[in-house]
Chain A
Amino acid sequence: NAGVTQTPKFRILKIGQSMTLQCAQDMNHNYMYWYRQDPGMGLKLIYYSVGAGITDKGEVPNGYNVSRSTTEDFPLRLELAAPSQTSVYFCASSSGTSGETQYFGPGTRLLVL
C-alpha cells in the first residue's frame, strides 16, 4: 500500500506557465482533497472531490482547476502561474467525511518566479 503519492516533489515555474500536480491514492477512498500550506499558516482547502466525476470548490479555489476521472487520481491544474501560488501543496484522501481520518501525501513544493 503506497497510500497517497504526489509528483513532482519540487518544481520551479515562471510566471504565466502552467503545470499539473499529480495525486494518486490506492486505498479506494471516495473523498480526495487539495490543500496549500503557506509559511506560518494552516492548510487551506483548494478543491475537493466526493467521487469520480464530482468536484467542488474549497476555501481558496481561484487560479486552480481539478478533475476526477477515476477514483485513484485527482490532479490539480495551475493554468497561469502567479507568485502568490508559491506554496507547498498537499493532497489527501479519506473514506468519508465527518469523523474519518484524512491521509496526506508528502507534498509538492512549488516556487513561482
Chain B
Amino acid sequence: GNSVTQMEGPVTLSEEAFLTINCTYTATGYPSLFWYVQYPGEGLQLLLKATKADDKGSNKGFEATYRKETTSFHLEKGSVQVSDSAVYFCALVDNDMRFGAGTRLTVKP
C-alpha cells in the first residue's frame, strides 16, 4: 500500500539556518505530493504541492521537488525564521491520502 516516511523530529535550528526535512514515499500509482504545516492549536494548512515528477512546489521561501527516481519530496528553506516554528507533514494522494508522522521544527532567535 501507499505510505509516507519523513524524518523524525524534533528539529531545532537557529534563526537564518538552512532547513531540510526529508520525505520519501511508496506508492503504487502516480501520486500528488504535499507539504502541510500545522501551527500550535490550529488545523493543517497547505504549504506547497507538486502533482507530477520533476515539479517543484514553492511557497514562503520553502521548496520541494518531486523526485520520482528517488521517491522523495524533501522540504528545504534557505533561512528559517522564528515564525516557521511548527509541525510539518508530508503527504501523498493517490487512490487514498497518506500522511507522514510529522516533524516538529523549533527555530530559536
User: What is A's interface to B at a CB cutoff of 8 Å?
Assistant: 4, 33, 35, 40-45, 58-59, 90, 92, 97-107
Contacts and interface: CB of A to CB of B under 8 A. Distances in A.
A42 B45 contact: no
Contacts of A107: 42-43
B51 A99 contact: yes
Given A42-B99, A42-B102, A99-B49, A105 B43 contact: yes
11 contacts: A40-B101, A42-B4, A42-B100, A45-B96, A90-B43, A92-B43, A92-B44, A99-B51, A103-B46, A105-B43, A107-B43
Where chain A touches its partner, the secondary structure class is loop
B89 interface: yes
Contact of B51 (A35, A40, A98, A106): A98
Interface string B18-46: 00000000000000101010000111111
Interface of B: 4, 32, 34, 36, 41-46, 49, 51, 89, 91, 93, 96-102
A104 B45 contact: yes
Contacts of B89: 42-43
A19 B89 CA distance: 29
Contact of B93 (A41, A42, A90, A98): A98
Contacts of A33: 97
Contacts of A58: 96
Given A98-B32, A98-B51, A106 B46 contact: no
Contacts of B102: 40-42
Most buried by B among A45, A58, A99: A99
A58 B99 CA distance: 13
B93 A99 contact: yes
A103 B49 CA distance: 13
B17 to A, nearest CB: 24
